[in-house]
Amino acid sequence: MTELNQPLPAPVPSQELRDRLAQRRSAPAQALAAPGPTDAELDEILTLGARTPDHGKLFPWRFVVLGPLSRAEIAEKLTVLAELHNRPAKHQAVLAKLTAAPVTILVVSAPVPNAKPIWEQHLSAGAVCMNLEHAAGGFGYSSSWITDWYSYDPQATALFGLTEGETVAGFIHIGTLTEPALERPRPDMAAKVTRLP
């Protein structure tokens, strides 16, 4: 880790990085299997994920690392919750995404009140999610950034330990892809880019 107030090296061109970004895509969460990151790899993935833009150095997010046991227990409770609320069958089916991968990092958006705009703090948490995906890819793992109904149901988020003012930025599922990732539609960049003189 670089010492505070020490100069960082200037960026250098990297075709490998550009190729990786050009091929980046989320994996189907249900297709992620072992092996997943080791404890040491996971520590580095979290450290790299935390190097994100953050207006005011507030660190307005936190991580909850969910292993297979905790996710299985929570999924059981979510199944009961879905039944109690008469949710459609697909709401129970998506719980398979929560339990498939070897490791899941829950990114909690935890904005600091009366500091920088809340919207910017939420954006910082979203940037953390993307950084975690890139970091996992750097170790050769695939990942999937997911939110489902249980990300927005207050009774469900309480099962993950969220407190007042906190929201789910995303569940980052990490593992090894059991089937090839297929390309998906991408935007027409000409329709998305405006260039001003």
Q: Could you read off the pLDDT of 103-126 as tens digits, one per residue?
A: 999 999 999 999 999 999 999 999
Domain boundaries, the chain: 31-178
Residue 79 to residues 50, 88, 149, 182: CA-CA distances in angstroms? 32, 11, 12, 30
The CATH homologous superfamily of the domain defined by 31-178: NADH Oxidase (3.40.109.10)
Give the pLDDT band (50/70/90) at residue 60.
very high
pLDDT at 135 over 70: yes
Q: Could you read off the pLDDT of 159-196 as tens digits, one per residue?
A: 999 999 999 999 999 999 988 888 999 999 999 999 99
User: In this predicted structure, what is the pLDDT of residue 1?
Assistant: 61
Average pLDDT over the chain reads 94
